Amino acid sequence: MRDAVSRFVHDGDTVVIEGFTHLICFAAAHEIIRQQRRDLTLARLTPDLIYDQLIAAGCAKKLIFSWAGNPGVGSLHGMRRAVEQSDPQPLALEEYSHFGLVARLSAGAAKLPFWPLRDYRGSDLPAVNSAIRTIDCPYTGEELATVPALNPDVTIVHAQRADSAGNTQIWGLYGVQKEAAFAASRVIVVVEEIVPESVIRADPNRTIIPGFIVDAVVCEPWGAHPSYAQGYYDRDNDFYVAWDTVSRDAKGLEAWLNEWVYGVGSRAEYFDKLGEDVTARLSAKPRMSEGVNYGF
Amino acid sequence: MAVRAARELADGDVVFVGIGLPNLACNLARATHAPNLVLIYESGAVGAVPERLPVSIGDPALVTDSLAVASMADIFQFYLQGRRIDVGFLGGAQVDRYANINSTVIGSYAQPKVRLPGSGGACEIAVHASRVIVVAPLSARSFPASVDFYTSPGQAGKYGTRTQLKLPGGGPTRIVTDVGILAPAKHDGELELVAAYPGVQIAEIKTKVGWPLRVSAELEPIEPPTAEELTLLRDVLDPQHLYL
């Protein structure tokens, strides 16, 4: 992870670490914090705790998002301090709806300049974000909304497994990981397990990202905690609730970063620090799917 | 509110489910009068049958035994914009006289008094779902005459009516509150009281909105929750009382 972040994430980059509730790569964010990257533009549908931590650690100058909260719990206090008090530094916001941000990544992946969508009529969002525009359909004359392509410098995707070439398989919710990877100039894949190529080839329909667009593959078990990996470990909902207290004041959040990010050298150390009580509580029970016949 | 919202659903409806009370309502409907309800979550789970009450909209229990898992691009483009969704659920910090919904900011956008989470999928749900059920407790603070920010379009407003805007879906059609139900009038889209819960005075309801509330000529009868519904909610669907 240290090498991947050092080589492929640079100061000033536009960075996407996606994953909708599922497969959010906290391990990569923590390494970015440890390497003290600065002036990043962070894009994600739901900034979640992962960007709250990056913002509070002073890594970000801008946030592109569509829903900013701690799901089911409350506010993102780190993000709000940056927006409201410029603490630790000012944070510019660029706001869409989910569909709008998904469409930006779709355009980016398809290397089109924009994406049309039937949305935003009767909403104030275009009035506060000049990137949301309209176009008259050349076939029907209908006025459609448009959003510009989003092409991140680097996208980081967490997944259950990949081979060493980066052919990546995800099951369960896969959000916009595919679009975010294809839209990016550089792609880092972080997995729970590296498997032989034969395992990938035995079930090709499950491959979301082909290895030839991937720049680095990192094996980092429990790398998504407190998010989850279907079939490996459950979401740590207690952590999401506890974060509200931890992050409520800047000092508390800083103490947490000191203990859990700067205070550990790697995800393996973080995992040991979590302890068996937590990992046993979250480990997934088996619910295997049946294989299919790929023969001809 | 959960029981009332559940009864708004018909068997076979394809529902875009939000987290919290709407989620509870959908699972209650599925366990009672609407076993063929299709639950779709914006996270990508289609035909979800969650074994436990999902804490988040992307809970792994939504995937286990579901009918399909779709990418979010498919969810928004094919399912929602493709007009396959019968019912959407929305909440919000403010709902106004014409059912416009604000989940973005209280105060001005540039200098907000309170910064809220933002749209998420709300704007497109309000645009595309055939009908939208809003679940929110009634109070003058949450139901002003006009919202501070139009996150999701209602029946009419400063940008025009839904017909003028050529919005494909029906928008908010039922506002389920803790004291009664509001619905937009056919002729002008203004929310009016269409049902009061047993024991609630209409005069009291009128004090809980920020405009002179019209009362429908014929109020709908409201049956109180049955013992079965309450047992399901309290003992089976939300035994830890996360949302109740």
> pLDDT value at position B150?
98
Q: A192-218: buried (b, 16+ CB within 10 Å) or exposed (e) per residue?
A: beebeeeebeeeeeebbbebeebbbbb
Q: How large is the C-alpha radius of gyration of chain B?
A: 17
Catalytic annotation, residues of B: 42
B residues 151-210 closer than 8 Å to A (CB): 151-154, 157, 159-160, 162, 165-168
> pLDDT value at position B21?
87
Strand bridging mode B45-46 / B68-69 = antiparallel
pLDDT, mean over chain B: 95
Interface touch A234/B19, C-beta < 8 Å? no
Interface touch B63/A228, C-beta < 8 Å? no
Architecture per CATH, domain A2-95+151-281, reads as: 3-Layer(aba) Sandwich (3.40)
Residue A162: in which H helix or E strand, if any? strand A154-162
Instruction: Say yes or no: B106 contacts chain A, CB-CB below 8 A.
Output: no
Lowest mean pLDDT, pick from A228-242, A264-278, B12-26, B210-224: B12-26
List chain B domain ranges: 2-90+124-135+158-237
Burial of B186 (0-12, 13-18, 19+ CB in 10 A): exposed
Interface test with A, best of B19, B56, B80, B240 (most A CBs within 10 A): B56
Q: How many CB pairs under 8 A join A and B?
A: 159
Nearest in space to B183 (alpha carbons), one of B95, B121, B120, B88:
B95
Assign A84 a pLDDT band (cuts: 50, 70, 90).
Answer: confident
Assign A65 a pLDDT band (cuts: 50, 70, 90).
Answer: very high
Contact A146, A133 (CB under 8 A): yes
Interface touch A98/B42, C-beta < 8 Å? yes
pTM above 0.95, yes or no: yes
For residues A217-221, average pLDDT? 98
**ipTM for the whole complex:** 0.96
> pLDDT value at position A215?
98
- Regions of chain B where pLDDT drops below 50: none
> pLDDT value at position A177?
98
Q: Rounded CA gap, B124 and A130, in Å?
A: 18
Q: Rounded CA gap, B35 and B33, in Å?
A: 6
Interface touch B76/A66, C-beta < 8 Å? no
Burial of B123 (0-12, 13-18, 19+ CB in 10 A): buried
Residues in chain B: 244
pLDDT at A156 over 90: yes
Nearest in space to B122 (alpha carbons), one of A119, A188, A148, A65:
A119
Within B8-138, where are the H helices? 21-31, 72-74, 122-128
pLDDT, greater one: B240 or A81: A81
pLDDT, mean over chain A: 97
Q: Which tokens sit at A76?
A: 């993102």
The shortest C-alpha distance from B7 to chain A (Å) reads: 24
Residue carrying the six token digits 């379009």:
B153
Q: What type of residue sits at position B98?
A: Y
pLDDT at A10 over 90: yes
pLDDT, greater one: A221 or B236: A221
CATH class of B2-90+124-135+158-237: alpha beta
Smallest Cβ distance to A66: which of B77, B118, B159? B118
Cis peptide before A226 (omega within 30 of 0): yes
Interface touch B60/A172, C-beta < 8 Å? yes
